[in-house]
Amino acid sequence: MQQNRNALKVAVVAVLTAVVVVFTMVVRIPTAKGYLNLCDVAICFIAFTFGPWSAFIAAGLGTALADLISGYAQWAPISFLVHGIEALLIALIVRQKGDKEASLIRKLLAGFVCIATVSLGYFALSSLFISTASVAAAEIPGNIAQSAVGFVLGLGVASAVKRAYPPVRSLAW
């Protein structure tokens, strides 16, 4: 029985990874060095709904795969780290025992961590490995907007899915 449960969780993570790829690639707003997208909607939804390990794997792999498919291979390792850590931290902050919902303070903290991780993570890693600090700094406002919008929409989607299908909580990993 446990083996079937683990197989289901692996399959769910594979589907969630594909969801992140789609959200990353469907809406793309070009910027000076790359593009803004809706990946954070999917990432935050997954973090709120499916737990830290599912969120880390799906967010990291999904955004890295999207970068590889889109021709932005140089960004794949950075996206993997930044979005994987973002998802892991959000999920750990809002994680609750049982069916309890995270408090408003935890959700606000998770939102702050989401925005800080994406904007500062891309700034630091981009300025170290891809461009200069001044070019990386120019991307900060877009990354703040992307992660803030993604957090709000992801939180809304997670709440709606949990209300519509409460057993989804049992798939958290």
Domains of the chain in sequence order: 2-171 (1.10.1760.20)
Q: Report the distance separating Cα 85 and Cα 117, nearest Å.
A: 8
Secondary structure (DSSP) of 4-70: HHHHHHHHHHHHHHHHHHHHHHHSEEE-SSSEEESHHHHHHHHHHHH-HHHHHHHHHHHHHHHHHHH
Tens of pLDDT along the chain (173 residues)?
567 888 898 999 999 999 999 999 999 888 777 788 999 999 999 999 999 999 999 999 999 999 999 999 999 999 999 999 999 999 999 997 766 888 999 999 999 999 999 999 999 999 999 999 999 999 999 999 999 999 999 999 999 999 999 888 888 87
**pTM over the 0.95 mark:** no
